[in-house]
Amino acid sequence: MNTLQWAKEMDQQDPLNKYREEFYIDNNKIYFDGNSLGLLSKRAESALYSVMEAWRTYGIDGWTEGKQPWFYLAESLGNRMRSLVGADEGEVVVSGSTTVNMHQLVSTFYQPREGKTKILADHLNFPSDIYALKSQIALKNLDDKEHLIQVESRDGYTLHDEDIVNEMTEDVALIVLPSILYRSGQVLNMERLTTEAHKRGILIGFDLSHSIGAIPHELSKWDVDFAFWCNYKHLNGGPGSTGGYYVNKRHFAKVPGLAGWFSSDKSKQFDMKHELEPASDAGAYQIGTPNLLSMAPIIGSLAMFEEVGMGAIREKSLKLTGYLMSLIETELGDYHFTICNPREDDSRGGHILLQHNEAARICKALKEAGVIPDFRSPSGIRLAPVALYNTFTEVYHCVEILKDIMKNETYKKFENKRGVVA
Ligand SMILES: *Cc1c(COP(=O)(O)O)cnc(C)c1O
């Protein structure tokens, strides 16, 4: 396993290896940052051009004419995305962005009432989610110090199901958690947490930013109330790509917290009345005109996920990250790295997390040597070998490069400080 030969054989046997050619890859680099920004594929690029072409050809009529009439794209793309999250017809829409969709859904689902006023979140989530929750609490004239509960982590990297369940007290109205923690890559047990929340009459939603396109989901089967995500990480929709959300059909009649004319029933939208008649499905939680040019690449990118299926993507992803961890253990034993992601397949996502006191400058040295990692303050190195475009050979070379950097101490020529975007 510790030979280049073995890695090359794995690549030859890999049923997904032909998809690498579909992406724009710089062969002088090893791109392991697809969990922050996925790479551009030729299909995503041509989908963008075809929306541009519809604009050129049809002008305003592009809303209803052409291959992908813009007026229905949020819903039609959402329906195509159902297989990635395990949703039923009408439950998924491509719209907004992670944080905007979160605001929409929390403003819709968070209805504090006597004795049930709190939101339960966690200490490890991405800051934007916590900022959004605090401002939603403030908008209800409540104090987040009292009404936002954040589950503590025992080790600073992961959460225990029992600790989350223990915080599901009677005064909790809503729970919002990540599906996969953005630092450690831990996969939370969404099914169990949903069951436990519902037993206590609490609504629960998940941020799927790090899990969409990385692991399979069964949101409808698990009976999750709502979810939201971005499409620029594992889904390769491009920088600032339009996000997505899921609303369980049980909740279709819920009045959107943040209404706009795109919340409308589509057949009534252009009646231009001042009384909103919301769409009868998850379409009701859109706000305004969709960002078409940021949605277009998803049309092409999604086609690859549909062809391959999440099962095969997850299988290869686990093999790549498993290989990476085993090489790190056998090759880098002398250099004080700690693998901080969970080790069991069921609870680890699409990336691994290495902890090292010199992480910031090790990342700079990796970048200089052509490996693109992702530094996460204060001392984390995330590495994401992605199923659709990375290879076992790249994993092998990445560890060899990292070993050279540690052996020759080339990281020492950099400052141990993060850049502005890191
Ligand atoms: C990437 C990510 C975001 C980003 O939010 P945007 O609104 O897309 O900028 C938010 N939350 C989590 C958990 C993320 O991983």
- pLDDT mean across residues, the chain: 97
Same domain (yes/no): 303, 324: no
**Residue whose CB lies within 8 A of the most ligand 1 atoms, among 37, 97, 99, 374, for a mutation test:** 99
Q: Quick: pLDDT tens for 330-357.
A: 999 999 999 999 999 999 999 999 999 9
Phi, psi of 149 (to 5 degrees): -105, 130
41 within domain boundaries: no
Same domain (yes/no): 152, 257: yes
273 within domain boundaries: yes
Same domain (yes/no): 292, 323: no
Same domain (yes/no): 288, 328: no
321 within domain boundaries: yes
Closest residue by CA, ligand 1 atom 2:
209
Same domain (yes/no): 313, 268: no
Q: Which of 402, 249, 387 is nearest to 312 (CA)?
A: 387
38 within domain boundaries: no
pLDDT band at 419; cut points 50, 70, 90: confident
Instruction: Point out the domain boundary residue: 287, 307, 327.
Output: 307
208: pLDDT strictly greater than 90? yes
420 within domain boundaries: no
Separation of CA 236 from chain center = 11
422: pLDDT strictly greater than 90? no
Q: If you average pLDDT over residues 179-202, what whole number do you get?
A: 98
| Pocket of ligand 1 contains residue 91 by CB under 6 Å | no
Closest residue by CA, ligand 1 atom 13:
126
CA pair distance 96, 80, nearest whole angstrom:
17
Same domain (yes/no): 354, 386: yes
Q: Quick: pLDDT tens for 386-401.
A: 999 999 999 999 999 9
- The model's pTM: 0.97
Q: Quick: pLDDT tens for 245-278.
A: 999 999 999 999 999 999 999 999 999 999 999 9
| Pocket of ligand 1 contains residue 97 by CB under 6 Å | yes
Closest residue by CA, ligand 1 atom 15:
209
Same domain (yes/no): 221, 354: no
| Model pLDDT, residue 271 | 92
| Pocket of ligand 1 contains residue 178 by CB under 6 Å | yes
Closest residue by CA, ligand 1 atom 1:
209
| Model pLDDT, residue 416 | 83
CA pair distance 210, 137, nearest whole angstrom:
25
Same domain (yes/no): 291, 352: no
Task: Quote the ligand 1 centre to 87 CA distance (angstroms).
Answer: 21
| Model pLDDT, residue 377 | 85
Task: Quote the ligand 1 centre to 342 CA distance (angstroms).
Answer: 22
Q: What is the CATH number of the domain that holds 406?
A: 3.90.1150.10
CA pair distance 374, 383, nearest whole angstrom:
7
160 within domain boundaries: yes
Task: Quote the ligand 1 centre to 297 CA distance (angstroms).
Answer: 19
Q: What is the CATH number of the domain that holds 273?
A: 3.40.640.10
| Pocket of ligand 1 contains residue 240 by CB under 6 Å | no
| Model pLDDT, residue 2 | 85
Closest residue by CA, ligand 1 atom 14:
209
Q: Is 222 annotated as a binding residue?
A: no
Same domain (yes/no): 290, 399: no
**Whole domain around residue 109: which residue ranges?**
46-307
327: pLDDT strictly greater than 90? yes
Q: Quick: pLDDT tens for 211-223.
A: 999 999 999 999 9
| Model pLDDT, residue 418 | 78
Q: Quick: pLDDT tens for 23-77.
A: 999 999 999 999 999 999 999 999 999 999 999 999 999 999 999 999 999 999 9
Instruction: Point out the domain boundary residue: 307, 325, 353.
Output: 307
Q: Which atom of ligand 1 is nearest to the CA of 233?
A: 1
Q: If you average pLDDT over residues 184-210, what whole number do you get?
A: 98
421 within domain boundaries: no
| Model pLDDT, residue 316 | 98
Q: If you average pLDDT over residues 107-130, what whole number do you get?
A: 97
Same domain (yes/no): 211, 139: yes
Instruction: Point out the domain boundary residue: 260, 278, 307.
Output: 307
Give the angle 228-216-88 at the CA atoms, nearest 5°. 60
| Model pLDDT, residue 360 | 94
Q: Which atom of ligand 1 is nearest to the CA of 243?
A: 8
Give the angle 87-88-93 at the CA atoms, nearest 5°. 70
| Model pLDDT, residue 69 | 96
Same domain (yes/no): 101, 216: yes
Q: If you average pLDDT over residues 4-23, what whole number do you get?
A: 97
Q: Is 126 annotated as a binding residue?
A: yes
Same domain (yes/no): 330, 229: no
pLDDT band at 420; cut points 50, 70, 90: confident
Q: Quick: pLDDT tens for 293-302.
A: 999 999 999 9
Task: Quote the ligand 1 centre to 131 CA distance (angstroms).
Answer: 11
| Model pLDDT, residue 74 | 98
Closest residue by CA, ligand 1 atom 3:
98
132 within domain boundaries: yes
Q: Quick: pLDDT tens for 140-171.
A: 999 999 999 999 999 999 999 999 999 999 99
421: pLDDT strictly greater than 80? no
Number of domains in the chain: 2
Q: Is 23 annotated as a binding residue?
A: no
Q: If you average pLDDT over residues 303-317, what whole number do you get?
A: 98
| Pocket of ligand 1 contains residue 209 by CB under 6 Å | yes
Closest residue by CA, ligand 1 atom 6:
98
